[in-house]
Amino acid sequence: MKTSIIKGIGYYVPENIVKNKDLEKIMDTSDEWIQERTGIRERRWVLEDSDESTSSMGTEAAKKAIENADISPDEIDFVIFATLSPDYFFPGSGVLIQRNLGLKEVGALDIRNQCSGFIYALSIADQYIKSGMYKNILIVGSELHSGALEKSTKGRNVSVIFGDGAGAVILQASDDPAKGIMSTHLHSEGKHAEELVVISPATKKWIDKLVEDPDDDGSSYAPYMNGNFVFKNAVVRFMEVINEALIKNNLNKDDIDLLIPHQANLRISQFVQKQLSLPDEKVYNNIMKYGNTTAASIPIALAEAIEKGMLNDGDILCLAAFGSGFTWGSALIRW
């Protein structure tokens, strides 16, 4: 059976940097308040008059991943695009990146698993490769949050957290059983769906109903998050799914050479790190400068970790995520 290796990786973030001090000018918040609760110092937001989109950022990340993999775009067999912020309600962004890259008429699958979207995409791609169906799969995680955030005191609990950006990998079939994805683990708990959610526009409350509702102040289509509840569930599920991966592969926490958690909140990452007794050099976080980029956070962080030389041949890499749905997952990879 083939194994799946990450052959190439790339990322893209907008040039526009929004610091916490900038947010103090448009909402009742402070740099100290934001850093204390999230660990975030700054994030990237696409400029309002920019032509950048979710698919265009994903395209730039994908170009870098293709170049890094040293393959031709014609060698890509399949595209998986993970996002909660697609360019359009439909079609999905997968076909847009297929068009932008000038790929042949390969399949394009869109993943809507929010913060755990990249892990879900990685797991799906791994199965396609292990079955022998595809050899080179382009996985993209891209988010343009800034256009949908309520940038005011009313929306500050959510708007200070999220940033824009994209990451991409080329997952490739390999004959080396000693390298590649060892296992992936996926879970969901839909009973908590409304604890982290955007309720509308939706098929039950479409544009005509929004326009006609005199009592709708816009809050129904702003992101809602029950922050404390999400935090408490996240720290539990992170630990469970990481341990699940270790047990599956007869490993223990000391075998992890690098952990890259989804960048939701620095406090969550630090809690997980403490529970696993991992030193700082074995955990990579970049939420401080990018905020939460949802489906893009893990591939962006992985790309930066590779640039910094934090992964060597044979290292055990653990990826883990938790988010809206609730959904969560992990992947264990021998580099």
Range name among 62-71, 106-115, 147-156 with the lowest pLDDT average: 147-156
Give pLDDT, residue 223.
Answer: 84
**Strand order from edge to edge, sheet including 316-323:** 180-188, 327-334, 316-323, 258-261
* 157, 20: one domain: yes
pLDDT band at 88 (very low <50, low <70, confident <90, very high): very high
* 126, 231: one domain: no
Range name among 48-62, 143-157, 232-246 with the lowest pLDDT average: 143-157
Q: Examine the fold and report which residue of 174, 208, 237 is the final residue of a domain before the chain moves on.
A: 174
* 157, 204: one domain: no
* 34, 165: one domain: yes
Q: How far is CA 134 from CA 6, 65, 143, 177, in A?
A: 14, 17, 26, 17
Residue pair 129/184 in contact (Cβ under 8 Å)? The answer is no
* 48, 144: one domain: yes
| Paired tokens of 193 | 């769906």
pLDDT band at 207 (very low <50, low <70, confident <90, very high): low
Q: What is the mean pLDDT of residues 71-91?
A: 97
Give pLDDT, residue 97.
Answer: 98
* 184, 161: one domain: no
Decide if 115 is catalytic: yes
Query: Structure pTM?
Result: 0.95
Q: Examine the fold and report which residue of 174, 200, 224 is the final residue of a domain before the chain moves on.
A: 174
- How far, in Å, CA of 193 to CA of 224, rounded? 11
Q: What is the CA radius of gyration of the chain?
A: 19
- Neighbouring-strand partners of residue 225: 196
* 9, 43: one domain: yes
Q: Examine the fold and report which residue of 115, 146, 174 is the final residue of a domain before the chain moves on.
A: 174
Q: What is the pLDDT of residues 246-275, one digit of tens each?
A: 999 999 999 999 999 999 999 999 999 999
Show the domain range for 63: 3-174
Does the pLDDT value for residue 214 go beyond 70?
Answer: no
The number of folded domains in the chain is 2
For residue 73, the domain's CATH number is: 3.40.47.10
pLDDT band at 124 (very low <50, low <70, confident <90, very high): very high
218 vs 119, higher pLDDT: 119
Q: What is the pLDDT of residues 266-320, one digit of tens each?
A: 999 999 999 999 999 999 999 999 999 999 999 999 999 999 999 999 999 999 9
Phi, psi values for residue 328, rounded to 5°: -155, 160
Decide if 185 is catalytic: no
pLDDT band at 219 (very low <50, low <70, confident <90, very high): low
DSSP-derived letter for residue 80 is E
Which among 262, 265, 285, 318 is annotated as catalytic? 262
Q: Where are the alpha helices (H) located in the chain, listed in sequence order?
A: 20-24, 31-38, 54-69, 93-100, 117-130, 156-159, 207-212, 227-248, 266-276, 287-290, 297-307
* 155, 208: one domain: no
Give pLDDT, residue 210.
Answer: 63
Decide if 262 is catalytic: yes
Does the pLDDT value for residue 218 go beyond 70?
Answer: no
* 153, 206: one domain: no
* 92, 218: one domain: no
pLDDT band at 216 (very low <50, low <70, confident <90, very high): low
Q: How far is CA 46 from CA 143, 146, 265, 304, in A?
A: 10, 7, 21, 20
In order, the DSSP letters of 179-236 are SEEEEEEEEE-GGGGGGEE---SBTTB-HHHHHH-TT--SGGGS-EE-HHHHHHHHHH
Which among 20, 68, 113, 115 is annotated as catalytic? 115
pLDDT band at 204 (very low <50, low <70, confident <90, very high): confident
C-alpha dihedral, 175 to 123 to 235 to 154, nearest 10°: 140
* 67, 23: one domain: yes
Of 90, 89, 80, 88, nearest to 58 (Cα)? 80
* 196, 312: one domain: yes
Q: What is the mean pLDDT of residues 195-214?
A: 75
Give pLDDT, residue 122.
Answer: 98
